[in-house]
A and B are shown apart, each in its own frame.
Chain A
Amino acid sequence: MTAISYTPPRRRPRWTKRVGLGIQASAALLATLLFIAPIFWMISTALKTGNQAFSATPSIFFTPTFENFAHVFTGSAFGSALMTSTFTASVSTILALILGAGIAYPLARRPGAVQQQVAFWILSLRILPPIVVIIPLFLLLRSVGLTGSLWSLIILYTYMNLPLTVWLLRGFFADLPVEIEEAAYVDGASRLRTFFGITLPLALPGVISTALLAFIFAWNEFLFANVLTGASTRTAPVSLTEYVNPVSVEWNNIMAAGTLVVLPVWIFALAVQRYLVRGMTMGAVK
């Protein structure tokens, strides 16, 4: 055995490091608390009575009540709006996944200059502010009698999410070593069978994350929904506006309804935490 002589680099003493980390962690905690304080306030207001919500001296300690949640579910159209949102967001997510995978897989497996151009064209569709396209789309959908129908929203949400699913799925497919697929071809599997039997299951974590992100965007969308839905087809975000009227603004009910809108999305976001950055940057940052 040879002895390895090693002189450690000059370092600060350990205790200053400890104190430094303590200060850093406290600052991080403080920053986090600042950012989630409004969320705490929303949830706590949702558990207050009307009087408490309108009090000039807000209370932090109070006996929580679930009456607001019961009220928004039964006393209004909000419950059905939640169902509408679930349906619209789910169907459009599935469509965006299917159409997106169809584009993404060839782009991932046959890289080339033209393919790159196509990918960037799809990405560039995201530059268009929705307000710029909403009027022509509104007139188009009206002329084919789809305004007020959920299908108009499903079509637009599929369109809105397609660039996302294409870019994310392309990345996830490209991450898989091509050799696995080739092995399947050699064994006599068809392309379709290879895709559904090998590629898709292997890329499943990525596909699910993509789906959840697409769902979140469709679920939160407001502009299209506000313009295109009728009284019976309101989505949850549009339905929220009903609690705001010149006569009264029922803040405790609004906050309860708001909490219900946000809750599923939080669960999804926490589930895809690992891919959240990748998803929201269209795969630009991993």
Chain B
Amino acid sequence: MSASTMIDRHNDKTLPVKRRKIGRFGWLLPMIPGMAFLIAISVYPTIYSLNASFYRWNLAATARRSLVGLRNYELLLSDPSFWHSVGVTLTYVFIVVALELAIGLGVALLFFRRFPGDHFLRALLILPMVVAPVVVGLLWRYMLNAQFGVVNYLAELVGFERVDFLGSTALALPTLILIDVWQWTPFTFLIMLAALQGMPEDIIEAARIDGARSVRIFFDHILPMIRYPIAVALVLRLLDAFRVYDVIFMTTRGGPIDVTQTLSWQIYDVGFKSFDIGYAAAYSWLMLILVVMVATVVLKVMFRKTDFA
């Protein structure tokens, strides 16, 4: 026997090396239960809701459901409140993601060079992002309360008037944005920090020796090197921001009037308060199309083909 076949022994299908009667596709066996489960629970709702979106179907109404074709979509697309929700959601998503990426990167740069106690501070910074969103909503509602909230107390100390942050049409959405930024900036921070600390140091050191200034080093060397982690953080936060619901449930419930009516909230409202299943299904599909569109554009811009290798 030649040496090359000895080395190749385990990959060589002609040699009977302990391949016990599991056959050619035996390795697929353990995948079956999980894949069956995933397919069942993902395909069913998709088909169901696509079908439902072509019906006029209200669980609360006495009329039986009737096929109306694309009528639900027509109604939605000509409904100003739908476009309002799209606007609110996109505003929320883009501002939230931009702020979280910028602040996360900024804070990560503060932790880039080691200092005594940095691990301890980093551990503390993790805490906000694992707080249940329901608790986050309640906590901020308490802190922002106009009468006994600590934020208003501090604002008054420095000379501002007390305001009902979550009850004001002008401030409710910015406040929700700040709450999200508070909870999720630690997440972007961790990603950025991991990225910064994973950079090969000699490149930056070389640039520094060449006399490059810190700002130049940051834009010319650091930023391009951490492009991929930034893109990952961006996409994940983007997808997550679209589904904001828990915090709104606990704070504004879409109000005051309609200034915080995000798509998620609207769908919940139509589906579980008006029981308008057909309309809610059409709503869901339009939201899904929007999410996929935004995600696709972002992926196209941020990733190169080679990133998936």
Contacts and interface: CB of A to CB of B under 8 A. Distances in A.
Contacts of A10: 209, 211
A135 B121 contact: no
Nearest to B22: A191
A265 B182 contact: no
Nearest to B34: A99
B35 interface: yes
Contacts, number: 256
Interface string A91-105: 000000001111101
B180 to A, nearest CB: 13
Interface string B50-85: 001000000000000000000000000000000000
Contacts of B49: 132-133, 135-136
Contact of A281 (B118, B124, B191): B191
Contacts of B245: 130-131, 222-223
A134 B150 CA distance: 37
Interface of B is mostly: helix
Contact of A270 (B52, B126, B128): B126
A268 B195 CA distance: 23
A141 to B, nearest CB: 10
Contact of A131 (B107, B233, B239, B264): B264
Interface residues of A, number: 94
B92 interface: no
Interface in B246-284: 246, 249-250, 263-264, 267-268, 271-272, 277, 280-281, 284
B148 A129 contact: no
A45 B115 contact: no
A54 interface: yes
Task: Give the interface residue-count category, chain B.
Answer: 35 or more
Contact of B18 (A185, A261, A286): A185
Interface of B: 10, 17-18, 20, 22, 27-28, 30-35, 37-38, 41-42, 44-46, 48-49, 52, 107, 110-111, 113, 115-118, 121, 123-135, 138-140, 142-143, 147-148, 150, 153, 182, 185-187, 190-191, 194-195, 198, 208-209, 211, 229, 232-233, 236, 239, 242-243, 245-246, 249-250, 263-264, 267-268, 271-272, 277, 280-281, 284-285, 287-288, 291-292, 295
Given A57-B153, A129-B291, 17 more contacts: A36-B127, A102-B30, A125-B38, A129-B288, A132-B284, A132-B288, A137-B41, A162-B38, A220-B130, A222-B134, A251-B142, A261-B132, A261-B134, A262-B131, A276-B126, A285-B194, A285-B232
Interface of A: 9-10, 21, 24-25, 27-29, 31-32, 35-36, 38-39, 41-42, 45, 53-58, 99-103, 105-107, 109-110, 118, 122, 125-137, 139-140, 155-156, 158-159, 162, 166, 182, 185-186, 188, 190-191, 216, 219-220, 222-223, 226-227, 236-238, 240-241, 244, 251, 254-255, 258, 261-262, 265-266, 268-270, 273, 276-277, 280-281, 284-286
